[in-house]
Structure 1
Amino acid sequence: MKKRSLAKKKPLYIVLISVHGLIRGHDLELGRDADTGGQTKYVVELTRALGERGDVERVLLLTRRVVDSQVSPDYAEVFEPLSDKASIVRIACGEDKYLRKEMLWDTLENFSDNVLAYLKSQPRMPDVLHSHYADAGYVGSRLSHQLGIPLVHTGHSLGRNKRQQLLASGIKRSEIEATYCISRRIEAEETTLGAADRVITSTQQEIEQQYGLYDFYQPERMRVIPPGTDLTQFFPPQGDEKKSPIALALERQLAQPNKPMILALARPDPKKNLLTLIAAYGESPALQQAANLVLVAGNRDDIQELESVAKTVWTDILLAIDKYDLYGKVAYPKHHKQEEVAVLYRLAATARGVFVNPALTEPFGLTLIEAAACGLPIVATEDGGPSDIIRNCQNGHLINPLDKAAMAATLLQTLSDKAAWRRLARKGITGVRQFYAWSAHVESYLAVVRPLVEKSEPVTRMALRRRPGTFREQAIFTTLDLNLIGDTASLAPFMHTMHAHRKAIIFGIATGRSLDDALSTLKRYNIPQPDVLITGQGTQIHYAPHLTEDAVWARHIDHLWHRQAVRELLKDVPGLTLQPQSHQSAFKLSYFIDTRVTSANDIRQLLLRNEQAVNVIFSFGQFLDVLPQRASKGLALRWCAEQFGFALEKTLVAGVTGADADMLRGNTLGVVVDNRHLAELADLANIEKIYFSRQAYAAGILEAMTHYQFFADESKAGAAA
């Protein structure tokens, strides 16, 4: 019945556009450079998969023709068939030689005109255009307007998010513009979002957290279609996995290699949260008895030669293994080949193990799908894409990545119930075939595309309006304790206000809590992750949506910081007691303080006399923190202002204790929110730009917004537009 109904429909002629990178139908040079990666693989596989459909007449992948002795002559061939109905067509785009995508912006009109001429030379016009990435989106927008053909778009990555990541890496705004032409990319993305009839994303989170920052954000036009998975590579165990080289490598590190396996596969990045996983395993004797832990975190020859972040993560991994004395229970191979990833999944499935993704945030979770396709149940972070995967496949459990005890309990439960394990494994294999195989991807894809062609699904048009000026010129920074936390009644309208103005302002939280503690607190109170999260009294800065750490800030504050020397000087000071280890960090020494210490200034003077230039902070009447002299909430805030380009004069800052004083001083719009620790900020009372609210908690911040008429400029801009 289904085949008969398909036959009645007019077969579709689909044109995909992917301008940059090196694209061919065989031996893709994945990883050759930043432009030849997942996107090039995706568009080729989508083209090929569409060509296998009976309800598709023809599919073309249009890309840039490259004539360059430095690359294969394949990329100069104008026409390359992939199958009877699917082909790659290469079209001139400015210079013939291979150029990185950032160098192509001035030639896109040339490419667009050449594509138009080519399409007009064909027997008939395509039914739909599908652009990939911002440059193709710009071309597709022009062609869609010229030809009156529906446009579908996939961004793959977005410029606003990219700019944030580059800023976090320490690259200056001017250098980002010169190297990445990021403003042109963002403008092209806005143009595309305004023109596209449908935007295809991998997850709902991508829609809300990334596209939601754009002026032309139209969620009603967006559809979630997860990418396809190659089931010829990822499949259940065949029985020969234990003979593989990677299996032998694991056996050398494990005392009981035949135990079930808890497998984690991630790059060595703090956001992947591998240390919490090790702690969860190390603090659970039952879990250690039940299974081995296998950590596959990239390839390495010498940890000392790794880049700084990876080196730190690996050092911490080895220290954690030593701390919990996990030798013989944890394997962490130095090398693995790409083709051995699927073997690792099958090895774990053969041993009736589990795959775990404990990341703090996971935009999609491709490894979860790969593991499921191999018959391996999954346990994954509840933040991001994994919730979609587990909802579809019913093959595992979600965890709070910051709750070690719950993580261990969930892993143990998954491993212990053999009947449930078989059910999860079976459902994972079935679910991937149903939702994440290429056949499933194309089925969903055509269900989105066909109504546009047949005009059976209305395309709503919003009144598009661009904001004048730069992206998000205003900012609001607030502390957590006694501001956002303490009164749920006032928190709700505050968060509603933040959401309503999310495209106009940068929302930041500055706290003395550690990153894990802050994230756990945000989760407990249902506070969405802010654009900027300053933790550890200003010693760490992370940026949304993927908690990208500002590594340059860490290097910046390390100047003249001698943590061990400071600790030695303070160890015998009466009235000071070190707080628990969980409150300490590489750039923060935290103490409880009692009445025997007359003031924080006494501590500061003691350290200065001993040639230790530091920042000493007293807060909440009982806590004392010693930081590098370049670190504080206020200095971190100003660093972010420089990185993002927002003006301090347009930044509302809400504080409650002495730790917030330097955030409130200066050119910011300060508000001291009413609370029992006002005495710590009494010397700010006579400063004109600092407002003392009458209301407490988040209500005090809302009161200050009214006092400063904080959103007045935005309202005027909207009225003018």
Structure 2
Amino acid sequence: MEDIYLKPPEAKRSRRARKRERIALVSTHGYVAAEPPLGLPDTGGQVVYVLELAKKLAQLGYAVDIWTRRFEDQPETEKVDDHVQIIRMKCGGKEFIPKEYLYKKLPEWTENALRYIGKKKFKYAFINSHYWDAGLAGQHMAEELDIPHIHTPHSIGSWKQKLMRGDFPDDEQRLEETYNFSRRIHHENTLYRECDMVVATSPIQLDMFKDDYGIDGDKLVMIPPGYDDNRFFQISKASRESIRESMGYAPDAKVISCIGRLARNKGMDLLVDAFAVVARKHDKAILRLAVGSENDQTTEDPMLKELMEKIEAHGIQDRVILSGSLDDPDMPDFYRAADIFCLPSRYEPFGMTAIEAMACGTPTVVTTHGGLFRTLTYGVDALYADSFDAEDFGYTILKALRHPAIHNRLAYGGAHKVRSLFTWTGIAQQLLKVVEGRSTPRLEVTPAG
């Protein structure tokens, strides 16, 4: 490979003083907004990831455009922060389109985006796309603009398919209709070979890109997700007690919390079954669930009905607090008020909520089918349990509830781990190094430092 020769620091500073280089982040599905409505369909951790990454890239000297789909009554552009804006392009009409089927409309989206770029005379240093639908659009854009394309899948089709087949072996046809695995995996195979670099968010993903898709190791890099350390951090015991009181928790209550969408792979049913185990052994334990819906109307979601029926079958109605998803500003205190945070996902590329909870000093239990657990030291940073064994998950929660030494060690160790590995500034710097370190013809760019 040829070496990349960068301009000397003086020249780079002069160039930045004249005009910031631009970066395009492409994330086409869901409700992407400066204040995202987390919990709405296809709107969760990935949206937070893209927004926070954009802000940090701007702080490092770039102008960042977040490209997404325009639907319903959304404005064409929206300012997020200094030097960060959202640009929305129309395709497929005004109705919401699930991410599994959005790819059919993306040729129209890409053509609209390219016309807009030409009109505005934007020049991008590189494109970073997120999830496979945006990857298809980002690859087309990169080829037309002759610029680098770095793709961050977040989720891998082959892995999700395997896990959901194992979880629901009799629902093969329904799973295919819902998640469109065959078309997704086909497009992923093509995308991973055509883009310049693929970003894994965990060691598990690195393995699967190689084993399931045959991607060469020199085309892969691992960059974990980040969290906002200006929002998620530990507080004093007195402040925590005040927050718990404002939320209506009894002083002696042991609160087990979880937040996520009502999707099969999120494992809310597993957590309810696990909590039933906890409730039999600990009379002060309560479960606090904040759930968003795959449907627009949460109360009409059949999965919510199933969850409520399961709670009633266990006879734990008076021990479970069930509500809708939270506004983003409420998230830090939601984590801080809990005694234990759980991530019960059967499939989770990483687990952003677990990282945020650990940063707040809340002992955390995750499953072994998420991308996060291989990064953690059991009993020091967090605990983990089998994602199909409610007894195992329940007794793992009890370990942290019953033993103060374990609880305190996890509170300290988890916060220390995420501070050392997962801040957004470090994530943004790693992404820039990926571009800086590649030597394909389209990757000869001058980073903003």
What is the rounded CA distance, in whole Å, between the counterparts of 1:40 and 1:49 in structure 2? 15
User: Please, which of 217, 226, 229 is the counterpart of residue 228 of structure 1?
Assistant: 226
Shift of 1:195: 0.8
Letter matched to residue 321 of structure 2: P
Alignment partner of 1:333: what SS? strand
Deviation at 1:371, TM superposition (A): 2.0
Q: 2:64 aligns with which of 59, 62, 65?
A: 59
CA shift for structure 1 position 137? 1.6
Confirm or deny: 8 A CA contact 2:227 2:356 kept in the other structure.
yes
Q: Deviations over 1:177-218 (max 9, x none)?
A: xx877655443322211112222233222344588444x544
Cα separation, partners in 2 of 1:355 and 1:30, compared to 1, 3 Å: closer
User: 2:364 aligned with 1:367, yes or no?
Assistant: no
Matches within 5 A, 1:18-33: 18-25=27-34, 27-32=35-40
- The CA distance in 2 between the partners of 1:28 and 1:212, in whole Å, is 35
CA RMSD, aligned part only?
Answer: 4.7
Decide whether aligned partners of structure 1 residues 413 and 212 sit closer, same or farther in structure 2, where only a CA change above 3 A counts: same
* Counterparts of residues 296-307 of structure 1 (less than 5 Å): 296-298=288-290, 307=304
Is 2:24–2:124's contact at 8 Å kept on the other side of the alignment? Answer: yes
Instruction: Check if 1:315 corresponds to 2:316.
Output: no
- SS of residue matched to 1:112: helix
State the distance in 2 between where 1:342 and 1:83 align: 21
Distance apart, 1:354 and its partner CA? 4.2
Equivalent in the alignment of 1:13? 22
Tell me: CA distance 1:24–1:306, structure 2 relative to 1, closer, same or farther (3 Å): closer
Letter in 2 for 1:365: G
Work out which of the residue numbers 248, 258, 262 in structure 1 matches 2:252: 258
On the 8 A contact 2:380/2:409 being kept in 1, the answer is no
Call closer, same or farther: CA 1:448–1:299 in 2, change over 3 Å.
Answer: closer
- The Cα of 1:273 is off from its aligned counterpart by 4.5
Structure 2 counterpart SS, 1:127: strand
Match of 1:140 among 135, 138, 141: 138
1:385 alignment partner in structure 2: 371
Distance in 2 of aligned mates of 1:408 and 1:298: 22
Three-state SS of the structure 1 residue aligned to 2:62 is strand
Going from structure 1 to structure 2, the CA distance change for 1:83 and 1:396 (only over 3 Å counts) comes to closer
| CA distance 1:312–1:112, change in 2 (3 Å) | same
Asked if 2 retains the 8 angstrom alpha-carbon contact of 1:250 and 1:332, the reply is no
1:295 is aligned, of 284, 287, 293, to: 287
User: CA, structure 1 residues 41+277, in 2 after alignment: closer, same or farther (shift >3 Å)?
Assistant: closer
Deviations 1:75-131 (A, max 9, x none): x34xx443443233344x556644525675455334434444554566674222112
Taking only the aligned residue pairs, the percentage that are identical comes to 26
- CA gap of 1:411–1:31, structure 2 versus 1, over 3 A, is closer
Letter in 2 for 1:195: E
| CA distance in 1 between partners of 2:242 and 2:427 (Å) | 34
Shift of the alpha carbon at 1:271? 5.9
* Displacement of 1:451: 1.4
TM-score (structure 1 length as normaliser): 0.47
For 1:280 and 1:382, locate their aligned partners in 2 and report how far apart those are by CA, in whole Å.
20
Of structures 1 and 2, the one scoring higher in RCO (CA 8 A, sep 6+) is 2
Q: Return the alpha-carbon distance in structure 2 between the equivalents of residues 336 and 108 of structure 1.
A: 31
Contact 1:377 1:428 in 2 (8 A): yes
Deviations 1:327-358 (A, max 9, x none): xxx9422447625554343234xxxx444556
Report whether the alignment pairs 1:44 with 2:51: yes
1:435 paired with 2:421, answer: yes
Contact 1:271/1:360, CA 8 A, preserved across alignment? no
2:65 alignment partner, SS class: strand
CA 1:8 to 1:213, structure 2 compared with 1: closer, same or farther past 3 Å? Answer: same
Question: 2:159 and 2:368 mapped to 1: Cα distance?
Answer: 22
For 1:194-213, what aligned pairs fall within 5 Å after superposition?
194-209=193-208, 212-213=211-212
Report matched runs for 1:39-188 at 5 Å. Answer: 39-53=46-60, 56-66=61-71, 70-72=72-74, 74=75, 76-77=76-77, 80-91=78-89, 93-94=90-91, 97-98=94-95, 100=97, 105=103, 107-119=105-117, 125-159=123-157, 170=171, 172=173, 176=177, 184-188=183-187
Number of residue pairs matched?
Answer: 413
Measured in 1, the distance between the counterparts of 2:127 and 2:379 equals 31
Residue 51 of structure 1 and its aligned partner are, at CA, apart by 0.8
> For the structure 1 residues 198 and 272, does the alpha-carbon distance in structure 2 shift closer, same or farther, using more than 3 Å as the test?
farther
2:49 aligned partner, one-letter code = Y
- Residue equivalent to 1:632: none
* Cα distance in 1 for residues equivalent to 2:183 and 2:358: 40
Query: Secondary structure of the residue that 1:375 maps to in structure 2?
Result: coil
Q: Is the 8 A contact 2:279 2:286 kept in 1?
A: no
Q: Which amino acid aligns with 1:203?
A: S
Pair 1:250–1:299, CA change in 2 (3 A): farther
For the 8 Å contact 1:21–1:36, the answer to whether it is kept is yes
- Partners of 2:91 and 2:27 in 1: CA distance: 15
What amino acid is aligned across from residue 62 of structure 1 in structure 2? W
Query: Match for residue 337 of structure 2?
Result: 347
Is the 1:393–1:430 Cα contact (8 Å) retained in structure 2?
no
- Cα pair 1:250 1:333 within 8 Å, conserved: no
Matched to 1:142, the amino acid is H
Give the distance between the partners of 2:407 and 2:181, measured in 1 at CA. 47
Task: Point out where structure 2 has 5 or more consecutive residues left out of the alignment.
Answer: 1-7, 293-297, 445-449
Write out per-residue CA displacement over residues 425-471 of structure 1, whole angstroms, 9 at most, x where no aligned residue: 3343333233223223223322333213798999xxxxxxxxxxxxx
Return closer, same or farther for 1:220/1:272 CA change in 2, 3 Å cut-off.
Answer: farther
Give a deviation string over 1:637-686, Cα, whole Å, max 9, x none. Answer: xxxxxxxxxxxxxxxxxxxxxxxxxxxxxxxxxxxxxxxxxxxxxxxxxx
Bigger Rg, which one: 1
C-alpha separation in 2, matches of 1:413 and 1:114: 53
What corresponds to 1:237 in structure 2?
Answer: 235
C-alpha distance in structure 1 between counterparts of 2:100 and 2:278, whole Å:
44
Mapped partners of 1:246, 1:168: distance in 2: 45
